[in-house]
Chain A
């Protein structure tokens, strides 16, 4: 079965420190991987995606994610966290050539403390 897992409900980090939000996936074939962010009282916003090519993908707001095929992971990272990064982050995976089958994780709440 196709699935995506975000093992942490919440991640806490101090402002200025590096952050990592974890995501692992299980799909048949080559995955398309996405990260979305949801700020309070807003819909989800696209951050970045991995389709093919370089395993390190750079996205919006200084975020990046690394595709690791052997570990079936796609962790979201940022070298220096900001308080304004506090939000709910969703990993998503697609295994077909359209977004009709985009499978989301349960979300990880990132809290950045001043």
Chain B
């Protein structure tokens, strides 16, 4: 167990649905991340929050909307998704360490999303 919990583990949704992915970290970290993992593609960094402020948004479509209400919780709100959005969505956390040696990321087990 890495200390990062994601729910649900699996999600099937239609293109007109609205759903949310949840991530919770119990490690006392200050930075949280959303990654998209698709088969045979590099992990794609979607969003980064550091000290509850969004610091990175890699040109992600607006149908993905992140929310970070506090340093322990991170959400990804989904609406009007497309079939090509089907993927494993991974949450991660780390110490916020700007200016210092890179710290490792701690990942959750992911949410396997299927868009029909």
- Tell whether, in the assembled complex, residue B43 and residue A46 are in contact, meaning their CB atoms are under 8 Å apart: no
11 chain-A/chain-B pairs, Cβ below 8 angstroms: A34-B102, A42-B109, A43-B2, A43-B110, A46-B105, A46-B106, A49-B102, A97-B99, A98-B97, A102-B45, A107-B40
- Tell whether, in the assembled complex, residue B92 and residue A43 are in contact, meaning their CB atoms are under 8 Å apart: yes
Number of interface residues of A (CB under 8 A): 25
Flag whether A100 is at the interface (Cβ < 8 A): yes
- Tell whether, in the assembled complex, residue A43 and residue B103 are in contact, meaning their CB atoms are under 8 Å apart: no
Least CB distance from B99 to A in Å reads 5
Q: Point out residues on B near A: beta carbons under 8 Å.
A: 2, 4, 6, 31, 40-43, 45, 48, 50, 55-56, 90-92, 94, 97-110
Residues of A within 8 A of B42 (CB): 4, 103-107
Residues of B within 8 A of A100 (CB): 45, 48, 50, 55-56
- Tell whether, in the assembled complex, residue B102 and residue A32 are in contact, meaning their CB atoms are under 8 Å apart: yes
Flag whether A51 is at the interface (Cβ < 8 A): yes
- Tell whether, in the assembled complex, residue B105 and residue A44 are in contact, meaning their CB atoms are under 8 Å apart: yes
Flag whether A8 is at the interface (Cβ < 8 A): no
Q: List 8 A-B pairs, minimum CB-CB distance, nearest first.
A: A43-B107, A46-B104, A104-B43, A44-B107, A104-B42, A43-B109, A32-B102, A43-B108
User: Bound state CA distance, A107 and B103, in angstroms?
Assistant: 21
CB-CB contacts below 8 Å: A29-64 with B: 32, 34, 36, 41-46, 49, 51
User: Bound state CA distance, A102 and B97, in angstroms?
Assistant: 13
Least CB distance from B79 to A in Å reads 25
Least CB distance from B84 to A in Å reads 18
Residues of B within 8 A of A102 (CB): 45, 102, 105
Flag whether A89 is at the interface (Cβ < 8 A): no
Residues of A within 8 A of B107 (CB): 36, 43-45
Which of A4, A44, A97, A106 sits near B102, CB closer than 8 Å? A97
Least CB distance from B107 to A in Å reads 3
A72-110 near B? 1/0 per residue, CB < 8 Å:
000000000000000000100010011110111111000
Closest to A97 in B: B99
User: Bound state CA distance, A97 and B31, in angstroms?
Assistant: 14
User: Bound state CA distance, A8 and B105, in angstroms?
Assistant: 24
